[in-house]
Structure 1
Amino acid sequence: MLRGLVLDFGGVLTDFGDDFAAPEPPLVGVVRTARRHGVRTALLSNADGLWSPPREWDGLFDVVVVSGEVGLAKPDAAIYLLTAQRLGLEPAECVFVDDLAVNVRGAAAVGMVGVHHTSIASTVDELAVLIEFPSI
């Protein structure tokens, strides 16, 4: 069973789709729903060590892993393993979402379920099936 949701920042959590007037990117709402259903959440970004998530997302993620802070970067297997470890989960218990296929393949190589984000609708549909909670 999948108990962890790991998402990339740029291109995934910054994707507003066609609704640029929305108060927050739609996948942020998915993270909120996942947390309400007991899913552990992580943000995994290849940003430098000076970057941090927006303040309004405080408490949204159980774990934030930033490449510049840990000295690892996607698609290196070690960064996915570190993220799962920090979540307290096995890689096979996690689904990873990224807009770059190479990064999704890296996560899949360590046993995570990978979702290649190409649109909000397709990502939400896949996550609804994979995580198995109602009404994402």
Structure 2
Amino acid sequence: MYQALIVDYAGTYTDPEIAEAVEAARVKGFRTALLSNADRTPGGLPEVFDAVVVSGEVGFGKPDERIYELAARRIGVDAAACVYVDDIRAFVLGAVAVGMTGVHHTSPEATAEELSALLGL
């Protein structure tokens, strides 16, 4: 059912447990993307992302539906096949509006548990 994991950067991917979950998803064959409202691509990213979409580089940001759709296109999957994780609820709802399954990141433990249930990580 799910083919991809898309995560926010600051406040989400920056938690070591979420970084580990992204790596585990990639190893299991899921497509992965980083989606951020930053001005530019964060430096020092590991090679675990199939795509990086940054609002400052594309001209629109979360919660604009176009940015979620762009992230899904860049990794070659339908939005409905994506799980999106963000620490800002409004941004999770933006992803849900385009058909993604949203996970509101409130703690590393809760998010890891949710990703385990959804993706078998």
TM-score (norm 1): 0.86
Equivalent residue of 2:24, what SS? helix
Provide the aligned length of Structure 1 versus Structure 2.
Answer: 121
Alignment-derived partner of residue 7 in structure 1: 7
Q: 1:71-82 maps to which residues of 2 (within 5 A)?
A: 71-82=59-70
Please list every run of 5 or more consecutive structure 1 residues that lacks an aligned counterpart in the other structure: 16-24
Alpha carbons of structure 1 residues 54 and 26: separation in structure 2 relative to 1, 3 Å: farther
Q: 1:17-56 maps to which residues of 2 (within 5 A)?
A: 25-48=16-39, 51-55=40-44
Equivalent pairs: percent with the same residue?
52
- Provide the aligned C-alpha RMSD in A: 1.0
Q: Which of these two proteins has the greater Rg computed from alpha carbons? A: 1
Please list every run of 5 or more consecutive structure 2 residues that lacks an aligned counterpart in the other structure: none
Q: Which amino acid aligns with 1:111?
A: G
Q: 1 CA distance for matches of 2:112 and 2:17?
A: 9
Q: 2 CA distance for matches of 1:52 and 1:77?
A: 20
Among residues 96, 100, 120, which one is paired with 2:108 in the alignment?
A: 120
TM-score (norm 2): 0.96
